[in-house]
Amino acid sequence: MGILDKISEIEKEIARTQKNKATEYHLGLLKAKLARYRQQLLEPQGKSGPKHKGANIQLLDLPGIIEGASQGKGRGRQVIAVARTADLVVMMLDAGKGDVQKVLLEKELESVGLRLNKDRPNIYFKQKKGGGVSFNSTLTLTKCSEKMVQLILHEYKIFNAEVLFREDCTAEEFIDVVVGKRVYLPCIYVYNKVDQISIEEVDRIAHQPHCIVTSCEMKLNLDYFIDVVWEYLALIRVYTKKRSEFPDLEGGLILRKGCTVEHVCHAIHRTMVNTFKYALVYGTSVKYSPQRVGLHHIMHDEDVIQIINK
């Protein structure tokens, strides 16, 4: 019996129970259960979702975003606000409807400050108390000019600032830097029901960037989808090893790609850095195994580390 069925049963029992002193305790218990089940519908469970390569990946299913959601239609603002806190956006689309859903959803998310599969513009911007607008660039700009930058800043009532373009960015990207509060997230476009379209259309969709074709009905390509989620989340596994023992390949640490030995120490215990002397690392991040490294050594996936304390 699912949560919705349990809620329905409790509501029916509350409706048919007479309210008096004899049933007061029973009704209170039913209302407490009802509130708990309703809370479970609103909040995702910590252990829900698939487990892949030793990591629990939590999938949060949001209500469908309709056209006009960015203006608050259909409580769209609340739904999109949850997406801003995620590490990855998985957009489920109907393969039979082409790219119509994808374009509409991208437009709604862009309107509320979500930038999908885009890098943060390499622009230095800082407001000052005086001195006017100082503009500079390290390369020739073809998409934006100094005059355009000044017009944008004046529109936001900013008359004293320092601006440095380190890449050829557009005026829209500069506006994102000025406004701030933009969230840059990776996104996977998952086209479902590919068993209902032609093989030519499947091939066209599959070759688009950041797109995956699946069929939940026939369970096609679901394992590959999980692998792509792992790749887009940029996670790695680091295994620990004690002296004169084999490495613990069951309880690996799940960390972000680009993490250092210092991050590994913090993941084990926050005080370990204070007593750290050096580490022995086995794996692809070192030239030979084991190699003695310091705190700033960058770890790779499936590296083994042995930490030596003072």
243-263 pLDDT, tens digit per residue, is 888 888 887 899 999 999 999
Query: Rounded mean pLDDT of 168-184?
Result: 90
Query: Rounded mean pLDDT of 115-136?
Result: 92
Q: What is the pLDDT of residue 47?
A: 46
Q: What is the pLDDT of residue 28?
A: 82
Query: Rounded mean pLDDT of 134-150?
Result: 91
Those residues whose C-beta lies under 8 Å from the C-beta of residue 170, and which sit 6 or more positions away, are: 143, 144
Mean pLDDT across the chain: 86
Query: In whole angstroms, what is the distance from residue 68 CA to residue 77 CA?
Result: 10
Q: How far is CA 140 from the centre of its chain?
A: 34
Q: What is the pLDDT of residue 52?
A: 78
Q: Which two tokens stand for residue 107?
A: 């437009």
Query: Rounded mean pLDDT of 124-149?
Result: 91
Is the bond preceding residue 186 a cis peptide, omega within 30 degrees? no
Query: Rounded mean pLDDT of 225-237?
Result: 90
Percent of the chain with pLDDT over 90: 44
Report CA-CA distances (Å) from 190 to 74, 91, 92, 193, 220. Answer: 23, 6, 5, 10, 12
- 31 pLDDT above the threshold of 90: no
Q: What is the pLDDT of residue 46?
A: 46
Query: Rounded mean pLDDT of 117-124?
Result: 93
What is residue 299's DSSP assignment?
A: P
Q: Is 203 helix (H, G, I), strand (E, B) or coil?
A: helix
- 66 pLDDT above the threshold of 80: no
CATH 3.40.50.300 for domain 55-117+184-232, yes or no, is yes
Of 90, 25, 96, 98, nearest in space to 57 by CA: 90
- 13 pLDDT above the threshold of 90: no
Q: What is the pLDDT of residue 26?
A: 83
Report residue 56's pLDDT band, with 50, 70 and 90 as the boundaries: confident
Those residues whose C-beta lies under 8 Å from the C-beta of residue 235, and which sit 6 or more positions away, are: 53, 55, 254, 255, 256, 257
H/E segment holding residue 236: strand 235-240
Q: What is the pLDDT of residue 59?
A: 80
Topology annotation, domain 236-309: Ubiquitin-like (UB roll) (3.10.20)
- The number of CA neighbours under 13 Å toward the Cβ of 198 is 4
The model's pLDDT over 88-110, given as tens digits with 9 standing for 90+, comes to 999 999 998 878 888 888 888 88
The model's pLDDT over 265-285, given as tens digits with 9 standing for 90+, comes to 999 988 899 999 999 999 999
pTM of the complete model? 0.72
Q: Which two tokens stand for residue 207?
A: 């070759």
Phi, psi of 203 (to 5 degrees): -65, -40
